C-alpha cells in the first residue's frame, strides 16, 4: 500500500501546479542525478519570430508567401511564426501533397510546383545547393522546383526562468544537465552556454534523441535516476524511455502530456527543482 504522506507530496506538488502521476515518480525525483532537456518550448519560449528574409530571385514578400503556403498545414512552432509574419490567410487550395519530414521540414506542392521548406539536412536530402545564411537563428531554407528560393531566419528566446531552473537543479543534487535539440549546433551551443549546461547534442532526429537518452541511462549508477523534460509530439518516445518523463503542460502536445509521468502545468522549468524538494521532504516523512 502507498503510505499516506505520498498523497501529501502529490498534493503539495499539485498546489504549485505540478501534476505527479504516481507516488513512485515522487520517489524517483528524490534520486534524480541527470536531467535531459529538449530545447524548443522547454528551455526556450518556443515563440519563434521571423527576424530575417533573404530571397533568391523574388521579393521578400513573395518568399514569405511561399514559406507560408508550404507551411500552412503544419503546426510546428516554426510554421506558426511564419504564418504570423505573413499576417494574412493563405489559400490552402493552392497547396497539395504536404509531407512533414520529421527533424527536416516540409515538402509540398504549391501551385503545382514542388516546394521544400526546412533545414540544411532537408536541402541535402533533395540535392539543393543553398546560399548559407550568416544570421544567427533557426534557418528555414526554401526551394522551388529543385532550385534554391531563399532563406527565412527565425529567432527564439530563452525563457527568463530557465537559468534559475538550471542552477536550482544543481543545488538540489543534479550532477549532469544535458540539452538535446534538432536545431543547428550553433543555436544549441549558444543556448547551452547562456544557461550553463554541461552538455549539448544538436542536429538530432527524434530517434537520435532516444539513443542519446539510452547512452546517458547506461552511465547512471545504482539508484540514480534520469529525467527528460520536453514538449513536442516527437518527444513522446523519449519521455517514456527516461526514468522520469516531464512534459510542459500548456505548450506541450497531447502525446507528450500523455507519455509523461510529471506535467508542469505552467511550463516553468524551475518547478522541476521545486518538485525534487517536495519529493525529498515527503520521503523523509515516509521513512
Ligand atoms: P527541436 O528538437 O528543437 O524541438 P524539431 O525536432 O521539432 O526541433 O525540429 C528540428 C529541426 O527540423 C528544426 O530546427 C528545423 O530546422 C527543422 N524543421 C522541423 N519541422 C519544420 C517545419 N515545419 N518547417 C521548417 N523546418 C522544420
Ligand atoms: Mg521539440
C-alpha to C-alpha distances, 190 to 115, 157, 165, nearest whole angstrom: 30, 11, 17
Q: Considering every ligand atom shown, identify the ligand nearest to the alpha carbon of residue 256 and give its number.
A: 2
Range of the domain at 28: 4-45+158-286
Of 106, 137, 155, the position where a domain reaches its end is: 155
Q: Mean of the pLDDT values across residues 214-226?
A: 94
- Both 175 and 86 in one domain: the answer is no
- Both 27 and 117 in one domain: the answer is no
Residue appearing with cell numbers 524548443: 40
**Helix %, strand %, coil % of the chain (to 5):** 40, 25, 35
- Both 274 and 167 in one domain: the answer is yes
Distance CA(98)–CA(74), nearest Å, equals 9
Interhelix angle 185-195/162-171, rounded to 10 degrees, is 60
Q: Ligand 1, atom 8: nearest CA belongs to which residue?
A: 182
Strands (E), the chain: 18-20, 32-38, 49-55, 95-101, 105-110, 113-118, 138-144, 147-155, 176-180, 199-201, 225-230, 244-248, 262-264
Q: Give the chain's radius of gyration (CA, Å).
A: 21
Name the grid cell of 29.
525525483
Task: Tell how far CA 268 is from the center of its chain.
Answer: 14
pLDDT digits (tens, 9 = 90+) for 222-237: 999 999 999 877 889 9
Residues recognised as catalytic: 38
Taking the centre of ligand 2 as the mean of its atom positions, its distance from the CA of residue 287, in whole angstroms, is 38
- Both 28 and 77 in one domain: the answer is no
Domain at 61, CATH number:
3.40.1110.10
Q: What's the DSSP call for residue 44?
A: B
Of 122, 155, 188, the position where a domain reaches its end is: 155
Q: Mean of the pLDDT values across residues 247-263?
A: 90
- Both 195 and 104 in one domain: the answer is no
The total number of structural domains in the chain stands at 2
Domain at 281, CATH number:
3.40.50.1000
- Both 194 and 252 in one domain: the answer is yes
Q: How many CB atoms lie within 10 A of CB 186?
A: 12
- Both 189 and 281 in one domain: the answer is yes
Distance CA(12)–CA(6), nearest Å, equals 10
pLDDT digits (tens, 9 = 90+) for 66-122: 999 999 999 888 999 999 999 999 999 999 999 999 999 999 999 999 999 999 999
Taking the centre of ligand 2 as the mean of its atom positions, its distance from the CA of residue 234, in whole angstroms, is 7
Name the grid cell of 226.
534520469
- Both 219 and 236 in one domain: the answer is yes
Q: How many CB atoms lie within 10 A of CB 164?
A: 15
Strand partners, 217: none
Q: Ligand 1, atom 4: nearest CA belongs to which residue?
A: 40
Q: Are strands 262-264 and 138-144 parallel, antiparallel or unpaired?
A: unpaired
- Both 94 and 21 in one domain: the answer is no
Backbone angles phi, psi at 256, to 5 degrees: -70, -45
- Both 111 and 201 in one domain: the answer is no
> Closest ligand 1 atom, CA of 119?
16
- Both 186 and 208 in one domain: the answer is yes
User: For residue 167, what are the contacts with CB-CB under 8 A and spacing of at least 6?
Assistant: 196
Q: Does the model's ipTM exceed the 0.90 cut?
A: yes
Of 111, 140, 155, the position where a domain reaches its end is: 155
pTM of the entire structure? 0.80
Q: How confident is the model at residue 141 (pLDDT cuts 50, 70, 90)?
A: very high
> Closest ligand 1 atom, CA of 103?
12
- Both 105 and 171 in one domain: the answer is no
Name the grid cell of 215.
547512452
Amino acid at each position: 500500500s502507498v503510505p499516506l504522506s505520498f498523497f501529501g507530496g502529490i498534493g503539495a506538488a499539485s498546489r504549485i501546479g505540478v501534476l505527479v502521476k504516481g507516488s513512485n515518480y515522487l520517489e524517483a525525483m528524490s534520486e534524480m542525478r541527470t536531467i535531459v532537456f529538449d530545447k524548443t518550448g522547454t528551455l526556450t519560449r518556443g515563440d519563434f519570430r521571423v527576424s530575417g528574409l533573404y530571397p533568391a530571385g523574388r521579393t521578400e514578400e513573395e518568399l514569405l508567401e511561399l514559406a507560408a503556403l508550404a507551411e500552412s498545414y503544419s503546426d510546428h512552432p516554426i510554421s506558426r511564426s511564419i504564418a504570423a509574419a505573413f499576417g494574412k490567410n493563405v489559400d490552402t487550395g493552392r497547396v497539395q501533397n504536404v509531407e512533414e519530414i520529421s527533424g527536416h521540414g516540409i515538402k509540398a506542392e504549391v501551385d503545382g510546383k514542388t516546394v521544400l521548406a526546412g533545414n540544411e539536412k532537408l536541402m541535402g536530402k533533395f540535392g539543393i545547393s543553398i546560399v548559407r545564411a550568416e544570421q544567427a537563428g533557426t534557418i528555414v531554407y526554401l526551394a522551388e522546383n529543385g532550385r534554391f528560393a531563399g532563406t527565412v531566419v527565425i529567432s527564439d528566446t530563452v525563457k527568463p526562468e530557465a537559468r534559475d531552473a538550471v542552477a536550482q537543479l544543481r543545488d538540489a543534487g543534479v550532477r549532469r544537465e544535458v540539452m538535446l535539440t534538432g536545431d543547428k549546433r550553433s543555436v544549441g551551443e549558444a543556448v547551452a552556454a547562456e544557461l550553463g549546461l554541461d552538455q549539448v547534442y544538436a542536429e538530432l532526429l527524434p530517434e537520435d534523441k532516444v539513443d542519446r537518452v539510452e547512452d546517458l541511462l547506461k552511465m547512471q549508477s545504482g539508484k540514480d535516476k534520469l529525467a527528460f523534460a520536453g514538449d513536442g509530439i516527437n518527444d513522446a518516445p523519449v519521455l517514456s524511455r527516461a526514468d522520469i518523463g516531464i512534459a510542459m503542460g500548456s505548450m506541450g502536445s497531447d502525446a507528450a502530456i500523455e507519455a509523461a509521468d510529471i506535467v508542469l502545468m505552467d511550463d516553468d522549468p524551475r518547478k522541476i527543482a521545486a518538485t525534487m524538494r517536495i519529493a525529498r521532504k515527503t520521503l523523509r516523512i515516509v521513512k
